[in-house]
Amino acid sequence: MWDYSDKVKEHFFQPRNAGVLADANGVGDVGSISCGDALRLMLKVEPETDIILDAHFQTFGCGSAIASSSALTEMIKGKTLDEALKVSNQDIADYLDGLPPEKMHCSVMGREALQAAVANYRGEVWSDDHEEGALVCKCFAIDAVLIEETIRANDLTSVQDVTNYTKAGGGCSSCHEGIEEILVKVMSERGEAFKPGTPAKEEAKPAGMTNLQRIRKIEAVLEMVRPQLKRDGGDIELVDVDGKTIYVNMTGACAGCQMEALTLQGIQQKLMEELKEFIKIVPTKAGALSRATCHP
Amino acid sequence: MEGIYFDNNATTRVDEAVVEAMLPYFTEQFGNPSSMHSFGNKVGLAIKKARMQVQELLGAEHDSEIIFTSCGTESDSTAILSALKAQPERKEIITTTVEHPAILTLCAYLEKEGYKVHYLKVDSKGRLDLDEYRKLLTDQVAVVSVMWANNETGTFFPVVEMAELANAAGAMFHTDAVQAVGKVPLNLKDTKIDMLSVSGHKLHAPKGIGVLYLKRGTRFRPLLRGGHQERGRRAGTENTTSIVGLGKAAEMALEAMTFENTEVARLRDKLEAAILAKVPRSFVTGNPDNRLPNTSNIAFEFIEGEAILLLLNKFGIAASSGSACTSGSLEPSHVMRAMGIPYTAAHGTVRFSLSRYSTEAEVDRVIAVVPEIIAQLRKLSPYWEGDGPKEEAFAPTYA
């Protein structure tokens, strides 16, 4: 059975804003019925201000699909359309205190319904750019077409490369055999032989980002979380970036705080979203001497 | 654990009498049956007894036709790989599109290894086309593997007849009978079935014990090679406690055979009829006229199975679903797809599987709860409005 958070269960058993919204002026219907999820998002937008006055949903789907829909409507009510569009699928998952990795696509569907509903309100045509191929990675819903194209475009040679670039294979790892087969195929096209055990590319950073840009991006993320840390009497500083490991120094009340690991995990998650790659965040002064507490 | 357990095709409760029979073999009777002293000897005798109890349940001619394995999957793999190794000149396999993953995943792997696998299709009620089967049965076929009863719908395949056809074509015949054993009277000595898989935990024995029935005279190549256990056909020290437990469970299953086919069937029929009468747009999948006595698989249109299960669970009711979300894959059950059940219904299938421990009161409780749950979820469904599907069909952009 899935290990759903209490928040997911609560939003499933008592969904908010379920049912038809009679005077909706923006409707988004998205779904993948073969995957067992479909969602209609209905918005009532105030034309003068672009503010979402009300949002309702109807969902065909599993527990986390219904909970994600319910959470989404709660999150966007009262926001302007532009503000609402900034809600990412990760935000939906965070709002629900996380979703099992195999269920992240439920939050993606919510995000797509929002785009579709806003497009509908604005009189635009929304189309999804998703390529439909045979699913390889079921945890992150990555298909063979995307994996093949990514291998081709970046001359990838190992399963780890594919995971770094597409996320495929980063979950339960049962698709590694399938990824290897695609590697064998694409590599033979370019006259190479797939060799198991080939190390991953040194720096699998997203195309086009220089080291400097990457460090700036990391600093920007740290700036974002800094106010929160300061509120609790702590701070964070960037020490070094070594490939996929980001070293930081937790200072003030944060150093040695019992919540340090949790805080770092949250920051790591944010960094991964922004950098679009897997990284590891490591504190340089683990368990510092001062045993201050964040919440006296 | 309190609750109503209607998921007996997934696994069953170990009978108290089975546990009792097993207990001495953990402590005082701990010997290795291969040992040359009385510690081992007594255990050896207990295994012999268990083998005969299983022999009787299967209606096998000899007790030596019973090979103890670790599970149904091991029995399936052993059977198919043995048949291929024993007849290297034959490179084809026949199976069905609705087999358990224990067979289908292995077959997909064998295809990559160069074997040709033919998958027999089923019709909307889950039935095979025997003419298609006859045409495929050439001298290239090494083994036919067809399940006795489908785990999701309970639908029977005509394995006895199919085994005769295979035999006439010189192909070996294997059947995965993990759902049928204990619920269907068997008399293997009068059939041409060469190999048959049993799983202990489906018939109130523990998990981690299975049987491969191997008809005397069938050419065989072991999967595990090592010691002389199971006459060299399955090396590895015997799982003595579980073997004893399976023996006892087999004996009890034989005693309960009539009860399973009358009383359990009656409860299942009552449950099914009441739900169908109370819930609009619901139907039974598979072939209701020819299936296991304990299984009912009902499709509830326009809602999703995992959501149904979560709500059932809240009422303490355990069942299972063919929806994509419960399996962790993103595809609904291959069995429902093979029968051509539309996605809007395939995702909403719920399997209720009873056992001889199920009671009338439990059935009544489930009948009372299910219609409410279905109505509650349909209120949330974009496909539904009032008492039926939306007039203007919901057609989302496929993402």
Most A CBs within 10 A among B109, B281, B304, B315, hence the mutation to make, goes to: B304
Contacts of B311 in chain A (CB under 8 A): 13
Can you tell me the distance from the alpha carbon of A122 to that of A117, in angstroms, rounded to the nearest whole number?
9
Helix (H) or strand (E) holding B269: helix B265-278
Same domain, A157 and A249: no
Active site residue B71: no
Torsional sign, CA A111, A116, A117, A123: positive
Question: Is the pLDDT reported for residue B341 higher than 60?
Answer: yes
Same domain, A10 and A117: yes
Can you tell me the distance from the alpha carbon of A37 to that of B344, in angstroms, rounded to the nearest whole number?
10
Same domain, A256 and A177: no
Which of B302, B314, B325 lies at the smallest CB-CB distance from A62? Answer: B325
Same domain, A156 and A86: no
Residue A151 maps to a domain: yes
- What number is the average pLDDT over the span B34-38? 89
The CB-based long-range contact list for A84-87 (8 Å cut-off, 24+ gap) reads A84/A52, A84/A114, A84/A118, A85/A114, A85/A115, A85/A118, A87/A111, A87/A114
pLDDT of residue A272: 81
Residue A194 maps to a domain: no
Residue spans in chain B of domains classed CATH 3.90.1150.10: 257-389
Task: Tell me which CATH code domain B16-255 carries.
Answer: 3.40.640.10
Question: Is the pLDDT reported for residue B2 higher than 80?
Answer: no
Strand partners, B197: B176, B212
* Pick from B375, B223, B226: nearest CA to B301: B375
User: Following CA atoms A182, A174, A68, A79 in sequence, which dihedral angle do they give, to the nearest 10 degrees?
Assistant: -50
The total of other beta-carbon atoms located within 10 Å of residue A3's CB is 7
The CATH number given to whatever domain includes residue A47 is: 3.90.1010.10
Helix (H, G, I), strand (E, B) or coil at A53: strand
The CATH number given to whatever domain includes residue A239 is: 3.30.300.130
Indicate the range of A147-156, B158-167, B236-245, B367-376 predicted with least confidence: A147-156
Can you tell me the distance from the alpha carbon of A134 to that of A145, in angstroms, rounded to the nearest whole number?
7
Same domain, A217 and A275: yes
pLDDT of residue A294: 35
Q: Which residues of chain A have pLDDT under 50?
A: 203-206, 286-296
Can you tell me the distance from the alpha carbon of B118 to that of B129, in angstroms, rounded to the nearest whole number?
13
Percent of chain B with pLDDT over 70: 97
Same domain, A93 and A159: no
Residue ending a domain, choose from A67, A93, A121: A121
Is the CB of A35 less than 8 angstroms away from the CB of B330? yes
pLDDT of residue A33: 67
Same domain, A147 and A47: no
pLDDT of residue B31: 93
Domain count, chain A: 3
pTM, to two decimals: 0.79
Per-residue model confidence as pLDDT tens digits over B164-223: 999 999 999 999 999 999 999 999 999 999 999 999 999 999 999 999 999 999 999 999
**B218 part of contact set with chain A, CB < 8 Å:** no
Residue A251 maps to a domain: yes
Same domain, A35 and A74: yes
Pair of tokens at residue B323: 């929806």
Residue A206 maps to a domain: no
Residue A128 maps to a domain: no
Residues with Cβ within 8 Å of residue B258, at least 6 apart in sequence: none
Per-residue model confidence as pLDDT tens digits over B87-108: 999 999 999 999 999 999 999 9
Greater pLDDT, B275 or B35: B275
Helix (H) or strand (E) holding B5: strand B4-5
Is the CB of A135 less than 8 angstroms away from the CB of B331? yes
Catalytic residue among B235, B325, B369, B375: B325
Q: How many residues does chain A have?
A: 296
- Percent helix, strand, coil in chain B, to 5, is 45, 15, 40
A251 φ, ψ to 5°? -125, 175
Residue A289 maps to a domain: no
pLDDT of residue A205: 46
* Homologous superfamily in CATH for domain B257-389: Aspartate Aminotransferase, domain 1 (3.90.1150.10)
Q: Containing domain of residue A164, as a range?
A: 135-189
Contacts of A108 in chain B (CB under 8 A): 399
The CATH number given to whatever domain includes residue A182 is: 1.10.10.1100
**Alpha-carbon B252 to chain mean position:** 19
Residue A89 maps to a domain: yes
Residue type, A162: V
Which of A29, A37, A59 lies at the smallest CB-CB distance from B380? Answer: A59
Residue A242 maps to a domain: yes
Asked casually if ipTM beats, i.e. exceeds, 0.90, the reply is no
- What number is the average pLDDT over the span B75-82? 98
pLDDT of residue B335: 94
Most A CBs within 10 A among B7, B112, B302, B306, hence the mutation to make, goes to: B306
Mean pLDDT of chain B: 95
Residue A221 contacts residue A267 (beta carbons within 8 Å)? yes
Percent of chain B with pLDDT over 90: 90
Helix (H, G, I), strand (E, B) or coil at B20: helix
Q: Which residue is it, tokens 């939906």?
A: A92
Within B146-278, strands assigned E span 172-176, 195-199, 210-214
Residue spans in chain B of domains classed CATH 3.40.640.10: 16-255
The total of other beta-carbon atoms located within 10 Å of residue B49's CB is 17
Same domain, A111 and A41: yes
**Residues of B numbered 374-393 whose beta carbons fall under 8 angstroms of chain A's beta carbons: which are they?**
379-383
Per-residue model confidence as pLDDT tens digits over B110-136: 999 999 999 999 999 999 999 999 999
Can you tell me the distance from the alpha carbon of B82 to that of B67, in angstroms, rounded to the nearest whole number?
14
Same domain, A52 and A154: no
Strand partners, B385: B388
Contacts of A109 in chain B (CB under 8 A): 399
Can you tell me the distance from the alpha carbon of A136 to that of B294, in angstroms, rounded to the nearest whole number?
36
Residues with Cβ within 8 Å of residue A95, at least 6 apart in sequence: A7, A71, A74, A75
**Alpha-carbon B354 to chain mean position:** 14
Same domain, A100 and A147: no
